[in-house]
Amino acid sequence: MTIIDQDEDIQLKAKHAAMWASGHYDAVATQLIAELGPVLVEAIGIRTGDLVLDVGAGSGNVAIPAALAGARVIASDLTPELLEQGEAHARERGAVLEWQVADAERLPYDDGQFDVAVSAVGIMFAPHHQAAADELLRVVTPGGRIGLVSWTPAGFIGQMFATMKPFVAPPPAGVQPPPLWGDEDHVRGLLGDRVTDVRTETRTVKVTLFAEPADFREFFKTNYGPTIAAYKQQPDAEKAAELDAALDGLAERFDVGESGYLVLEWEYLLLTARRA
């Protein structure tokens, strides 16, 4: 069992919640990666009658498609503001589900309560990976299904975090990099022999919203919490300009477009399994 100092953890989680509440993460979820939700719902076989927990649900990328597929869904997230945005989307789409503030590392649910637990680029941002994985497994009934989508370390978002790393303060002791959840060996190690029927596949999301690298950079400076936080840590305009150039270079490196218009492919790991 992972031992975490409770007072320090409360402070850390408050910072995380505030970071994700900054900007407009919903713009990222709806304009860039909306397809991830339906992909995960299909991969894990969510169906009518399933009781589903979405961990790190954000604004409902997976939770809403799961509810529309007929499941009973609880969408949980550390950040209330994201859940409020999700509730609005659910009303617009006619989806009925529950929205609950919850810490992925201290889920307020019973052992074996859910038939299915899912997370699309959500649980990967919990700072203590083993604690989050333990909770994910705990709340799923034996034989129940688990489905995860996580950005890979070598993919675009993983490399974006690597690009920003020299510009930000080091994380507290014990906090692990989010993209490790996109490393198959790492996730298998977290889940261990508590799962069976593990299946993995590496896929990509094609992003064509941006005409040029500067458009990508400004979108993330405005909307994406971790990028906003990185810029807040820059001591002066010169360092901010260095971060600008680093992010522009990242987009240029990953650009696969042929017509002068930016085309990015964001790699992720899709994992499905059953609790043993």
Amino acid at 116: V
Phi, psi (degrees; rounded to nearest 5) at 50: -65, 140
Residue 212: inside a domain? no
Q: Is the pTM of this model over 0.85?
A: yes
Tokens of 115: 């038939």
Give strand pairing partners of 205.
266
Residue 28: inside a domain? yes
Task: State the pLDDT confidence band at 190, using cuts at 50, 70 and 90.
Answer: very high
Residue 133: inside a domain? yes
Residue 211: inside a domain? no
Q: How many CB atoms lie within 10 A of CB 124?
A: 26
Given a cut of 60, whether residue 2 has pLDDT beyond it is no
Tokens of 96: 């009925």
Give strand pairing partners of 271.
148, 200
Task: State the pLDDT confidence band at 205, using cuts at 50, 70 and 90.
Answer: very high
Residue 260: inside a domain? no
Q: Strand 72-77 and strand 51-55: pairing?
A: parallel
Residue range of the domain that includes 155: 6-163+171-205+267-275
Mean pLDDT of 124-153: 98
Give the 3-state secondary structure of residue 83: helix
Domain count within the chain: 1
State how far the Cα of 236 lies from the Cα of 152, in Å rounded to an integer: 31
What confidence tens digit (pLDDT) does each residue in 227-265 have? 999 999 999 999 999 999 999 999 999 999 988 899 999
Tokens of 271: 């994992």
- The CATH code of the domain that includes 139 is 3.40.50.150
Mean pLDDT of 15-32: 96
Residue 246: inside a domain? no
Residue 238: inside a domain? no
Residue 200: inside a domain? yes
